Amino acid sequence: MTLLKSLNPKLLLILFGLLITNTGSFMILPFLSLYLNHMNLPATTIGLVLMVNMICQRGLTFFGGILNDRFGEKKLLIIGMSIRLTGYILYSFASGLQLIFLASAFVGLGGALFAPGLMAMIAKLAGAFKPQVFALRNTVINIGSSLGPILGGLLYQYSVFWVFLLTSLAHFIFLVLIILNGPNDIIAKRKIHVIASFRIILKNKTVLLLALMNAIFWFLYSQFNLSIPLYMKIFFNQPSLTGLVFTINGVFVIFLQYVIVKLAFQRCKNQTILISGFLFMGIAYFTLGLIPHLSSVFLFVLLFSMSEVLVFPTIDNLVSDLADEALLSTYYGFVDIGWAIGATLGNLLGGIFIGFAQNHHLFVIIWIGYGCLSILALPLIFLMVSLNRIASKRRTQAKGEI
């Protein structure tokens, strides 16, 4: 409560908006495939619809970040939220395949336009409370992702129209709040040309490494949604316990995220927290590989959740610390490319690996391999810290010469 009283009211408005819009979005996500299937669409077409959404959102986030830095976060938030709202409304009334694809593209594009600027806006408004606010943001998102499917499941039994209606209403409420009382654009004094933005990002090896680490983490994180449920069914023949695994993760993140991150940032540096997060992830997968017992899955989810609460806010905090002031949204958009690549490869290769493990009874190799991948990220963290120190010394020398 003390933190909430200290925060800028505009920031509280954004966190409230994230809560209701994420709850709305997760009311739809678990049931979208079912909805499209009820429209007699084949599985391949449903996959294409979902892929269009992924490409538009994750593939264009970097460009959304550039637009935010050029024209202002509030403008892009209003435009992006309006486009996403239009997409959900189109879903409600879509009767043909063309409108369905258009709705999917609008929902994804809207997110790509406002997401990086929203992160930059949070970082700028949070001030000295950045780590805690990023943890609070993740907690809010997890509350939405937990409540959404429950509400969506209840409404879906009556009519999918109500699911889309309430999701659209949530986005409309946030849009109106931003228009009437949202934070003003916080644009840097100097504007950088689009081509120059690319060059600055690509020259910043520290941020390139951060994007790579983000990709590695999302590759490993995606296995929680893909491989773990299949492992519960194939290896233990306990698919009914999958819901309990996800519940433990959700409860852990919602109730412990803020407390753990607050303590961690009070006592440790960014790199120490990031190293700890990847170590917890590595140990989690080693546990699955070395202890072929059902209890190992529950130990895994606790270690995995600990990794999650440490890594996500730390990466967000590092982006804001490393970014050029005039390119904060662009930096967030670029690091999100790591999310897109990691999650895509995680789902693609994860399915192949789990099929191989099932056919050859070699789950231990898969889990040990994932654990090793997490540990291999540690040298990248040390390299990132070294490069950042070198860059800081050069900036200090340059200022001294001036």
pLDDT tens-place string over residues 199-257 = 888 888 999 999 999 999 999 998 988 888 888 888 888 877 887 888 898 889 889 99
Neighbours of 171 (CB within 10 A): 25
Q: For residue 313, name the pLDDT band (cuts at 50, 70, 90).
A: very high
Q: For residue 20, name the pLDDT band (cuts at 50, 70, 90).
A: very high
Cα 20 to Cα 143, 146, 178: the distances in Å are 10, 12, 13
Three-state secondary structure call for residue 187: coil
Q: Is the pLDDT of residue 288 over 80?
A: yes
Locate 365 and state its tokens: 């190799």
Helices (H), ranges, 60-204: 61-71, 73-93, 97-126, 130-156, 160-181, 194-203
pLDDT of residue 352: 86
Helix axes 294-322, 242-267, angle to 10 degrees: 40
Q: Among residues 23, 45, 27, which one has the least CA distance to residue 36?
A: 45
Choose the weakest-confidence range: 58-62, 334-338, 381-385.
58-62
Type of residue at 45: T
Cβ burial, residue 151 (10 Å; 0-12/13-18/19+): middle
Q: Is the pLDDT of residue 1 over 80?
A: no
How many Cα atoms occupy the beta-carbon half-sphere of 135 within 13 Å? 26
Choose the weakest-confidence range: 117-126, 282-291, 337-346.
337-346
Q: Is the pLDDT of residue 398 over 70?
A: no
pLDDT: which is higher, 187 or 273? 273
Q: How far apart are the C-alpha atoms of 20 and 382, rounded to whole Å?
A: 38
pLDDT of residue 47: 74
Query: 25-39, 110-124, 245-259 — which one is most confidently predicted on average?
Result: 110-124
pLDDT of residue 190: 59
Three-state secondary structure call for residue 273: helix
State the chain's mean pLDDT as an integer.
Answer: 88
pLDDT of residue 344: 84
Choose the weakest-confidence range: 64-73, 144-153, 309-318, 365-374.
144-153
Q: How far apart are the C-alpha atoms of 287 and 301, rounded to whole Å?
A: 10
Locate 372 and state its tokens: 């090793």
